[in-house]
Amino acid sequence: MAQEDVFKKVVSHCKEYGFVFPSSDIYDGLGAVYDYGQNGVELKNNIKQYWWQSMVLMHENIVGIDSAIFMHPTIWKASGHLDAFNDPLIDNRDSKKRYRADVLIEEQIAKYEDKIEKEVAKARKRFGDSFDEQKYRETSQKVAEEQARRDALHERYSKAMNAMNLEELRQIILDEAIVCPISGTRNWTEVRQFNLMFKTEMGSTADGASTIYLRPETAQGIFVNYLNVQKTGRMKIPFGIAQIGKAFRNEIVARQFIFRMREFEQMEMQFFIKPGTELDWFRTWKEKRMAWHQNLGFGAENYRFHDHEKLAHYANAATDIEFRMPFGFKEVEGIHSRTNFDLSQHEKYSGKQIKYFDPEQGESYTPYVIETSIGVDRMFLSVMCHSYCEEQLEGGDTRVVLRLPAALAPVKLAVMPLIKKDGLPEKAREIIDDLKFHFNCQYDEKDSIGKRYRRQDAIGTPYCVTVDHQSIEDNTVTIRMRDTMEQQRVEISQLRGIIEDNVTITSLLKKLK
Ligand code: ATP
């Protein structure tokens, strides 16, 4: 199936099976805001648990917090968001569509890269087994030309972004002859800065309401609680603070479903360390976070690091973990070495001392920070895209199956009486009453068994159990596995053991190195 089709199918599957709905659906939706349905919320909670437990349970020196969304407005001055959390936007006068200037240019860079990869792929096909890829890349005239164009553009772009030179960004778009994908024209406006924070007011106007912001990242809630947690938890450096929570960004171009939303959720961990050790810890966290992703079993070839060349003003090293989405490799998580920028800024703006006294060295310092920051919704999307599968069955039938990692699946077990009488429903309910304390079970008696299996396949339920007349006599049932569709007769008393080991978050965590 073409990758574009996969994406379209995932989007409609999410709606049809209660994973994700457009927000305010009966009012025709709200741009780039989505709601999670009955199955979506379970999957999302499982992703969050996998992350939370891998951070907080698996590390003695990481604790969690839950800070408020509303924060003192000066925080955003100190963090730099008020002055610098901007995207450069540009409009096409003909289509009236708005774009991010940086994204238009990055897509152009990606086009050159694609051309190179296509050349290499063509040569690979032509030369077969004797193909020496490295040599080809070094010697091909065409590859060299494309590479030179790509590098020149990249350099010009990086310079313009670092200096936030808006005129130059526009000039690049004109020089590269980038057209609007809708109108096909180059009738571009000037490039303008656009701040991504949402504003609101706190207090009634009569007592002098103050402007406050919906947080655009959860990280600042951690920084401003550094002293509270360090003191009350008697934390010793190195230590981390983890948090899961909503963040809000007034994204200029919100496309691609839940990939880029205006209200989304982040899972962030700030790891406080001694100055000078940051590059070692940066490497450690890069490895740990990649292992966390790959532990889901989606294949190492679907992930890559993208090291940043243009570093944010606060960072001295940064990388993204990218996942192969149906629309290309895309950032799912960012790992940043943020130096002591945030704590020093809060020290300056709040007037409070934010230091760590190292008892072994007998000295105080402002800790450095390594941040790992992952979007729950992007993670959700990557899991859905990778798990969605249409299978051709014998006899010409097809089935849609979500091959979710069992530990993330919304429902772990469906229990189905073969027919709605002869005591079979009661027996099925008995099984659920016993197992519902251990994992999420669903009872289903409607339609044929075949249809019921398909429904469960479509939401990724790893196990289905059928209760038949024999079950009443000898307390055995048929258990069916989602992926292989294999069926086995087992005793009811064995069910918990068979299922539980494979469906818990603990089972995932135990595989994590
Ligand atoms: P992008 O370049 O795609 O806008 P970013 O580099 O600004 O992302 P960060 O500020 O590093 O993103 O945020 C950390 C993580 O939060 C991202 O890796 C992503 O998973 C998630 N995230 C950021 N913005 C959004 C959004 N608008 N919708 C959904 N998730 C988001």
Q: Is 333 in the pocket of ligand 1 (CB under 6 A)?
A: yes
Question: Rounded to an integer, what distance in angstroms lies between the CA atom of residue 55 and that of residue 222?
Answer: 15
Half-sphere exposure of residue 179, counting CA atoms within 13 Å on the CB side?
5
List the beta strands (DSSP E) in 342-469. 356-358, 363-365, 368-375, 388-392, 398-402, 413-417, 441-443, 463-467
Per-residue pLDDT of the chain (513 residues; tens, 9 = 90+): 777 789 999 999 999 999 999 999 999 999 999 999 999 999 999 999 999 999 999 999 999 999 999 999 999 999 999 998 999 999 999 999 999 999 999 999 999 999 999 999 899 999 888 888 889 988 999 999 999 999 999 999 989 988 889 999 999 999 999 999 999 999 999 999 999 999 999 987 666 668 999 999 999 999 999 999 999 999 999 999 999 999 999 998 777 899 999 999 999 999 999 999 999 999 999 999 999 999 999 999 999 999 987 667 678 899 999 999 999 999 999 999 999 999 999 999 999 999 999 988 899 999 999 999 999 999 999 999 999 999 998 888 889 999 999 999 999 999 999 999 999 999 999 999 999 999 999 999 999 999 999 999 999 999 999 999 999 999 999 999 999 999 999 999 999 999 998 999 999 999 997
Q: What share of the chain is helix, strand, coil (3-state, %, to 5)?
A: 45, 25, 30
Which of 218, 313, 373, 376 for mutating ligand 1's site (highest number of atoms within 8 Å of CB)?
Answer: 373
Q: With contact defined as beta carbons under 8 Å apart, do 318 and 310 qualify?
A: no
3-state SS, residue 360? coil
* CA 360 to ligand 1 centroid distance, Å: 38
Q: Is 270 in the pocket of ligand 1 (CB under 6 A)?
A: no
- Amino acid type, 247: A
- Amino acid type, 408: L
Interstrand relation of 441-443 and 86-91 (parallel, antiparallel or unpaired): unpaired
**Residue identifier of the C-alpha nearest atom 12 of ligand 1:** 334
Alpha helices in 356-414 (DSSP H): 376-387
Closest ligand 1 atom to 331 CA: 18
Q: Is 261 in the pocket of ligand 1 (CB under 6 A)?
A: yes
